Structure 1
């Protein structure tokens, strides 16, 4: 059996230091563990995302691009398939209708009809459970929609068609469609039917979507421009077939449609994970410095009996390495489990298959470096400085913690405390002790301040996301928007809408889609033309409140005037106030003059044209495809009920409704999407707060050890245990409040920078910045609570010291 006595004395001392002060060992190991855990979890989760997301996406044979249009025949799909550069093309039909959930509420549902499920080659929908393919009158539910609908295989769902008729569809199975945006993000449920079922839903047996894959020779790495060029030619083919194309959706080659969002999230988490590792390292430096201060006499004795400085250096660095190894043993499995849980959660949110738990060797190597190499490197300087003491200096040490030499800060604190006559002596002593070890105080404050700054910045990011959302929805001043499957007379639409009780005002808008061309030349149609949605509100509309950044809004005398938003300028920077703009709508080319530029927020590329002139120019004079409604009530639930009443009334009067969007419901749905981001950021901020609290606990423990003799002197002259405990607690609270003040100063610029980066990474636009004073208040409360919690054990240890123990302290 291995004997403890066989270990060389220096290594027995390392073991004694590890086991002799269990609380100190626990604090250091925990602080390193949190940082290593965060780094390992983020990197492992990233690798799992990369593995699982890519596998799920490729299994669907994803389309290079998709075209959405008014209904067309199969022959147009053949014409797209015949284009040079197109490898494969398939058509589908999408039906937007209402569905009743298990809770009895009505929501939006997207039913997709695929001509031949057995011959799918693009955006493949895969069977998960139940029947395959769907039979006549049956529906297969996309798996991300099951929770939304509360339905199950063998049951049924009730849908309401665009004509107002209710139909019951039998749920015969579930499918997985990797190319579909999950229900949680879109706010819609998804189902899959065959072409025969279309007629039962009062729809034509025609297609309205083309998915195509380009040939490999077309691609140029990750660039989307070659795909867009093919897409524009396909757009023209559909237009030649006398159909209106609404949108060209282009996917980045080999990349999931939500890959950029996930990458941005992982990048933010990585930054915060590295921060937590660095803060844990600061605590280690503090602890090592304290150990050496406490063991000054031991270092002197070792040198007196012949120990060299390099031997003592290796001994203490081995101690640091042991802390790291212990932290690694805890952090590596916990990081893998957390990464698996995060990946599983994200798989549900973004609708991809998770491959399960894994701990890749590259993650383990990174964690080992973070747990051992980083702490050892950080500890070299304090160990080198601490082992440089001479034998004479070490032997003459009296065990009473010395203080740093008095500087301006100490004299300023002394003068300030002299004026605080109302404070008791124990509190004055706590305030003086706070600034006693300035280097240690600086490291502790740095840890707590960074944690607080990030915490408050995350709350400001949340507030900024909400402000951006409010700005986006305040852009449009209506409460409900109703879209139709075809054009109807505006007067008829408004007449019917105003008959519904609860409607305050209504405006019919023209709506279509087109492409901005570089010029009127024929060749320009296949040049870098870009998708835009064209809205034609009545001049003098009350339902829109654009934020103009150049030029002006539309006025009554305008004819071929155009207002573009800033999103349009990203793809068409040549458009300026006063410049011409050519938009191709169907087979027509309309020439406009840009009169204004409006700010865009979460709206996509929009242009605005005067309703009378525009509807006449596209030969739909007096017609509209949507109506915007202001409700009399501000109550969200009443607005939802009004939306339902409007839909029923319009359908009863032979107006085919495509969708009904209630503004407050959209806001809630987008907020829930934003909350996914802020929750992840907040979790990492809480990890930083934990590291900060551990650092403060370590600092207070070190301070108690250094002041052991002083505590004994106070006990000898009559200080009670509670008074000594209060001194420690008040000192910790002072550090917590100081860190909060410094954090508030740093939180404003940090929050502004973080909000800007989050906006650019996730929304491709900076957020509307809003500083969260709620976050400031919450962190003040948390920092005070963490400070008290961190000081309780050191205060208890200080209060338990007896006069006999402290007089015998070495």
Structure 2
């Protein structure tokens, strides 16, 4: 108490303002804390992502590029290792088969065989628990696959080979493969075996993948072109060994394959975090202006006894600084905890090691700036403006007269309300009070409108993502796709498929991959595109529906015609309708004429050729490597069961299957990936809504204080507590509905812009924009609920005021 008395009067007043109105202090501190928390969480998460993802990725000695091909011998790996510019190369064998989960479901799985686990130099796999390396007939599971399979170390898994044989593999350990996409994104489980186990899986002891690292002098920053050039030479080496290459995967130097996705996600969260900070600052400005309006007489008295304007300015700025310090104390540890939780969640989703909780000094400095410096700077103008009042103006202020509207807007509102006879007087008073303090109303509306706009825009992004996915998968008119390890007669495949109950239609396709050359010269092979998939469906196919954006689709009389999709044009911009295209397939070079361009559908670079001519040109006439099937049932569960029946039937008839894909499962997997983004955006939108609710609650609390005498007059003429409370609740509802209307107007262009940017960042092409009216409806309900909840406490306080209390109010 003695220390308190030793303080000068101005600082005692600051403490009195802080402690005397605890609710107001709490609201201001919370409003600043939300913004500081959001900024701190996002920035800290970004730093932890950057640190942990980079460490995990580099610890694997990641490949610069990988080549996937038909089986080949180890000698071809040695030939790639000897290429100029290649530092190291290693071969592996991937076996694509079915695995039975603990729940009894059959799913796709990759088993990778590595020749020598003790000499790994590229894409290093690390043992976490259990045996190392795997023994004959054993499997080491990648850690991201444990939850997918529902199994644990020491147990076993049952797999089914391409020949239909079932084998049990003992789980002797768990490993971590930083270079592997997590099971959540790929939809497949991963296991690692030795080369001896291949024979038990009906697979030859050969390799089908080469991972290589280029020499440092090859690299040019983050550019992938130098790596692609080396990859094309390695491709040619494999082709010289009579091996068909399917795919060249090039990694950006020093960057995780999902780095761009994470960066885009963090950038979106950063934008929303900064918005939270700005809205919290607006709320602070609103509150400070209201405090000064309420304390006009106090300012006049201070000036009357000698206080200078700059002294009063410093006093109120100090008050704002204290608000900021309190907010920092609350937000900094919460932001660090949230960042740790977010990083831990993302580590599971993207399969990297999380370094745990950390609060870097640079994050703390940013939070301190956001909590103290930004609010103080924002408060200078309203404080300076309101402290300019003269002593005479201050001591003659009565509160009511100072807010009587005199503008044209006020007069127009008065005339409009005077014509409304259906509403009760308390409701009319609420409508009129809504526009009394226009600056305060504007800041409150701004906070709620931005929150509502972002909330509705997030729902529109979600709708646009789903619309884009549905539009892309509308290309697929089949329910099940089966790929084979080799070429089979199309008539045989379709004959066997149509025997199976539940199949409505089946269509066999030719399939292979190749590279598009600039011309037929030998030198052009080193400048060829990375790779394209070549599909050869019947020209009258009903199984797909490509969207032709230029030219035409294939005709029955076409021979060397080609339709290319827009993804192919990114690597081959020289292709236009009517131009010539040379594609190298193995050791063959085929000439095509481009007759059409189709829109890409999340399927990568694809070109289409007429089935009869193409299969003859690659000496597989009448054959097929895949079959597309339409099910009789539209039920997803029935389609999954049908896929299993098809696989079992074909394997019993000696057809070696590479993969079985259910279109519905692919759609659900992609949708679940989109949902990760949506969840994070919705969390930030809810934070913004929370700031808006705090702002409205603060506004209503200030309005109650400002209208204390008016409440007394209403009491004196017989107004009930319910009627008084109703005035403030209806006023809050008016503000909520107004913010909703403004938000709807702004949400359309903002949602369109954000949908475009999200599409470019995550899918490298704009989304099919779809405005979400569901989001509009949800926000209308939420804004009304927030308004009611935010007004309950101030309304209750107003209803409790007695006539004696208000008559003594100064």
Q: TM-score range by the shorter chain?
A: over 0.9
Residue of structure 2 in register with 1:12 after alignment: 12
Residue of structure 2 in register with 1:59 after alignment: 59
Contact 1:64 1:250 in 2 (8 A): yes
Residue of structure 2 in register with 1:191 after alignment: 191
3-state secondary structure, aligned to 2:403: coil
CA shift, 1:269, in A, is: 0.1
Partner Cα separation in structure 2 for residue 539 and residue 778 of structure 1: 47
Residue of structure 2 in register with 1:541 after alignment: 541
After superposition, where does 1:774-789 map in structure 2 within 5 Å?
774-789=774-789
Contact 2:515 2:528 in 1 (8 A): no
CA shift, 1:632, in A, is: 0.6
Contact 2:405 2:411 in 1 (8 A): no
CA shift, 1:2, in A, is: 6.8
Contact 1:502 1:633 in 2 (8 A): yes
Structure 1 gaps, min length 5: none
After superposition, where does 1:747-762 map in structure 2 within 5 Å?
747-762=747-762
Give CA-to-partner distance per residue, 1:566-622, whole Å, 9 cap, x none: 111111111111111111111111111110011112111111010011111111111
Residue of structure 1 in register with 2:711 after alignment: 711
3-state secondary structure, aligned to 1:213: strand
Contact 1:459 1:772 in 2 (8 A): yes
Contact 1:400 1:708 in 2 (8 A): no
Contact 2:405 2:436 in 1 (8 A): no
Residue of structure 1 in register with 2:273 after alignment: 273
CA shift, 1:314, in A, is: 0.2
3-state secondary structure, aligned to 1:394: helix
Residue of structure 2 in register with 1:439 after alignment: 439
Residue of structure 1 in register with 2:130 after alignment: 130
User: Which deviates the most, 355-364 or 581-590?
Assistant: 581-590
Partner Cα separation in structure 1 for residue 411 and residue 539 of structure 2: 71
After superposition, where does 1:345-356 map in structure 2 within 5 Å?
345-356=345-356
Is 1:769–2:766 an aligned residue pair? no
- Length-normalised TM-score, structure 1: 0.99
After superposition, where does 1:56-205 map in structure 2 within 5 Å?
56-205=56-205
CA shift, 1:542, in A, is: 0.5
Residue of structure 2 in register with 1:550 after alignment: 550
Partner Cα separation in structure 2 for residue 156 and residue 559 of structure 1: 52
Partner Cα separation in structure 2 for residue 729 and residue 772 of structure 1: 29
After superposition, where does 1:466-485 map in structure 2 within 5 Å?
466-485=466-485
CA shift, 1:401, in A, is: 6.2
Partner Cα separation in structure 2 for residue 112 and residue 195 of structure 1: 9
Is 1:392–2:395 an aligned residue pair? no
Partner Cα separation in structure 1 for residue 601 and residue 412 of structure 2: 50
Give CA-to-partner distance per residue, 1:66-88, whole Å, 9 cap, x none: 00001100000001000000000
Partner Cα separation in structure 2 for residue 585 and residue 140 of structure 1: 36
Give CA-to-partner distance per residue, 1:552-571, whole Å, 9 cap, x none: 11110111101011111111
CA shift, 1:528, in A, is: 4.6
CA shift, 1:637, in A, is: 0.6
Residue of structure 2 in register with 1:561 after alignment: 561
3-state secondary structure, aligned to 2:603: coil
Give CA-to-partner distance per residue, 1:489-540, whole Å, 9 cap, x none: 1111101000000100000011111111111111110015231111110110
CA shift, 1:135, in A, is: 0.2
CA shift, 1:417, in A, is: 1.9
CA shift, 1:404, in A, is: 5.9
Give CA-to-partner distance per residue, 1:641-680, whole Å, 9 cap, x none: 1000000000000001111111111111111110000000
Divergent runs of 4+, >6 A = none
Contact 1:154 1:173 in 2 (8 A): yes
Residue of structure 1 in register with 2:673 after alignment: 673
Give CA-to-partner distance per residue, 1:331-351, whole Å, 9 cap, x none: 000000000000000000000
Contact 2:91 2:207 in 1 (8 A): yes
Aligned length: 810
Residue of structure 2 in register with 1:683 after alignment: 683
Contact 2:144 2:182 in 1 (8 A): yes
Residue of structure 2 in register with 1:372 after alignment: 372
Partner Cα separation in structure 1 for residue 401 and residue 382 of structure 2: 17
Residue of structure 1 in register with 2:571 after alignment: 571
Partner Cα separation in structure 2 for residue 574 and residue 214 of structure 1: 29
Partner Cα separation in structure 2 for residue 540 and residue 618 of structure 1: 21
After superposition, where does 1:771-810 map in structure 2 within 5 Å?
771-810=771-810
CA shift, 1:419, in A, is: 2.7
Partner Cα separation in structure 2 for residue 272 and residue 401 of structure 1: 40
3-state secondary structure, aligned to 2:402: coil
Give CA-to-partner distance per residue, 1:84-142, whole Å, 9 cap, x none: 00000000000000000000000000000000000000000000000000000000000
CA shift, 1:399, in A, is: 3.4
Partner Cα separation in structure 2 for residue 99 and residue 359 of structure 1: 43
User: Which deviates the most, 414-423 or 88-97?
Assistant: 414-423
Give CA-to-partner distance per residue, 1:160-217, whole Å, 9 cap, x none: 0001110000000100000000001101000000000000000010000000000000
How has the CA–CA distance of structure 1 residues 423 and 230 changed in structure 2, closer, same or farther, with 3 Å as cutoff? Answer: same
Give CA-to-partner distance per residue, 1:197-252, whole Å, 9 cap, x none: 00000001000000000000000011000000000000000000000100000000
Partner Cα separation in structure 1 for residue 553 and residue 456 of structure 2: 39
Structure 2 gaps, min length 5: none
Residue of structure 2 in register with 1:651 after alignment: 651
Contact 1:503 1:629 in 2 (8 A): yes
Residue of structure 2 in register with 1:513 after alignment: 513
How has the CA–CA distance of structure 1 residues 401 and 159 changed in structure 2, closer, same or farther, with 3 Å as cutoff? Answer: farther
Is 1:614–2:631 an aligned residue pair? no
Contact 1:52 1:353 in 2 (8 A): yes
Partner Cα separation in structure 2 for residue 433 and residue 415 of structure 1: 14
CA shift, 1:279, in A, is: 0.3
Contact 2:466 2:671 in 1 (8 A): yes
Residue of structure 1 in register with 2:525 after alignment: 525
Residue of structure 2 in register with 1:738 after alignment: 738
Contact 1:401 1:707 in 2 (8 A): no
How has the CA–CA distance of structure 1 residues 714 and 614 changed in structure 2, closer, same or farther, with 3 Å as cutoff? Answer: same
CA shift, 1:30, in A, is: 0.2
3-state secondary structure, aligned to 1:40: helix
3-state secondary structure, aligned to 1:98: strand
Residue of structure 2 in register with 1:585 after alignment: 585
